[in-house]
Structure 1
Amino acid sequence: MDPLVLNYENLHLRVDRGIFELFDLSTPSTTFRVPLPWLGVLIDYKKPDRPGKPYFGAVSDSGAALYGTDKFAFRYSTSPVERVPPGHEPLFRTYFTQVAALVDRRVR
């Protein structure tokens, strides 16, 4: 199976052989890597009309939602400087729904 890839602005997201990898191309030293059973992703929209802040991390419980993860479920998280406008959120939801299906996890 080919890797699942999503490129969004300076972010390169990749899933291959059960591992999620995040690369922030604006800061090449910023990377994040985690096995899919512990991946958690959240785009936090504090105000509906404003861009949200993406969080990628490791969750304490593999039963947590893979996408739309509750903030308190994260054991560790990182947030690149990119902001995601509400109109772009479906790109992430579609991508992480495919990723969740690979490991029989849910999205919120």
Structure 2
Amino acid sequence: MEPLTFDYENLHFRVDRGVFEAFDLIGAQQSLRLPLQWLGVLIFFKKPGKPGQLFIGTVRNRDANLPLYGTDRLDLSSAATSSLQISADDEARFREFFTKVAEVANRRVAA
């Protein structure tokens, strides 16, 4: 299977052989590497109509059936918080990519 990749502004995501990698291409933040079974991602919208904030980290309970991509900040035990702001329109692109990642990892995406 070919690696899955996704680029957004200065971020590059790559999924290959059960591992998720995130790279900040301008070097402002450190790269991140996690097994897919630990991965948790969400874009949190604090106020309607305003951009959301991207959170990538580890799920709180790896044995539970927590979504790989979700909406509950309590599902993450640790998060590499990005200063990147995501619009509601761009959130759909992230959801599409992480839905594919969830299929590879045999995990789910929150509705």
Could you list the runs of 4 or more consecutive aligned residues of structure 1 that deviate by over 3 angstroms after TM superposition?
A: none
**Is residue 44–residue 71 contact of structure 2 (8 Å, CA) maintained in 1?**
no
Give the fraction of aligned pairs with identical amino acids, expressed as a percent: 45
Instruction: Name the structure where strand makes up a greater proportion of residues.
Output: 2
Aligned residues: 108
Q: 1:60 to 1:94 in 2, by over 3 A?
A: same
Give the residue type in structure 1 aligned to 2:60: S
Name the TM-score, length of structure 1 as normaliser. 0.93
Q: Which residue of 2 aligns with 1:20?
A: 20
Give the residue type in structure 2 aligned to 1:96: F
Q: Which residue of 2 aligns with 1:33?
A: 33
For residues 60 and 17 of structure 2, what CA distance do their matches in structure 1 show?
21
TM-align CA RMSD: 1.3
**Which consecutive unaligned segments of at least 5 residues does structure 1 have?**
none
Per-residue Cα deviation, 1:15-51 (whole angstroms, up to 9, x for no partner): 0100001111122651111100110001000112111
Give the residue type in structure 1 aligned to 2:61: D
Name the TM-score, length of structure 2 as normaliser. 0.91
**Which consecutive unaligned segments of at least 5 residues does structure 2 have?**
none
